[in-house]
Amino acid sequence: MSRTVVVTGGAKGIGRAVVARFLAAGDRVTALGRDAEALAHLRGELHSGAPGTLGVVPCDVADEAAVAAAFADIGAVDVLVNNAGVATAAPFAHTTLADWERHLAVNATGAFLCTRAVIASMRGRDRGAIVTVASTAGRVGAAYASAYTASKHAAVGLMRAVAAEVAGSGVRANAVCPTFVDTPMTERSIERIAEATGRSAQEGRDALVASSPLGRLLDPQEVADAVVWLASDAARSINGQTLILDGGGIQT
């Protein structure tokens, strides 16, 4: 049965891969994002020939009014994927208040606002799945990424709290925690880490690859696979969990 799916940060990287997977499954997908040009490109690239339908809505998930308006237009949502995120790197002592607040606004408050926008309707229908794309930085500390790490811990905690409230209702809330993924966001992080440490960008990338038991960066499609599975009936007994995608680096 076709579902109504919303993917925040849906135009690029992991979000784009997630949108493509739900479209391939025949779902009605709405991609939210701040970059109207990227959303238009996404629509032109993925809409034609897909079994599902794709809508795009420019929206800053950290803007309460914008989120409320977007979800009012979309209506009842069956699957929400909180994927919108920002990531910058800096030594803790050089992390500005603006950087700290922006990370929390997008990575944590954005997930809160979007989840709040769908939860009442899901509870009223006793069905729905919320999946937040967090990070392994939401489970352990990450050097040169204090703001990012704190915001992803908050996103994981949010899903656990929501899961506790909806337990047994048919609504589920979970998080996916991937290690570094081969996306433009990761490339930007590598460049900033290189600047902070005096390494070259390639040395920074090599260090990330070496830190993973997989010996490589994740492909966005691998994260999309996990998201789509958690949103499916195959995972209907899973609630309040963090699915770690790192090849075995974090022991739980």
Distance (Å, rounded) from C-alpha 54 to C-alpha 78?
A: 15
pLDDT at 217: 84
pLDDT at 233: 96
The catalytically annotated residue of 22, 112, 144, 148 is 148
CB 165 within 8 A of CB 122: no
CB atoms within 10 A of CB 1: 5
How much of the chain is helix, strand and coil, in % rounded to 5?
Answer: 50, 15, 30
DSSP state of 175: E
Distance (Å, rounded) from C-alpha 125 to C-alpha 77?
A: 10
What angle, rounded to 10 degrees, do the helices at 13-24 and 36-46 form? 30
pLDDT at 216: 81
pLDDT at 196: 65
Distance (Å, rounded) from C-alpha 161 to C-alpha 96?
A: 29
Distance (Å, rounded) from C-alpha 229 to C-alpha 210?
A: 28
pLDDT at 180: 86
Domains observed in the chain:
4-182+218-237 (3.40.50.720)
pLDDT at 47: 66
**Termini Cα distance of the chain:** 35
Question: Helix, strand or coil for residue 21?
Answer: helix
Return per-residue pLDDT of the chain as tens, 252 residues: 899 999 999 999 999 999 999 999 999 999 999 999 999 999 988 866 779 999 999 999 999 999 999 999 999 999 999 999 999 888 999 999 999 999 999 999 999 999 999 999 999 999 999 999 999 999 999 888 999 999 999 999 999 999 999 999 999 999 999 998 887 777 776 676 667 677 777 777 777 767 777 778 889 999 999 999 999 999 999 999 999 999 887 766
Which two tokens mark 8?
A: 């925040």
Phi-psi region of 95 (alpha: psi -120 to 50; beta: other; left: phi over 0): beta
Amino acid found at 61: V
pLDDT at 113: 99
Which two tokens mark 10?
A: 């849906």
Is 144 tagged catalytic? no
pLDDT at 92: 95
Distance (Å, rounded) from C-alpha 201 to C-alpha 89?
A: 13
Question: Helix, strand or coil for residue 232?
Answer: coil
pLDDT at 252: 60
pLDDT at 50: 77
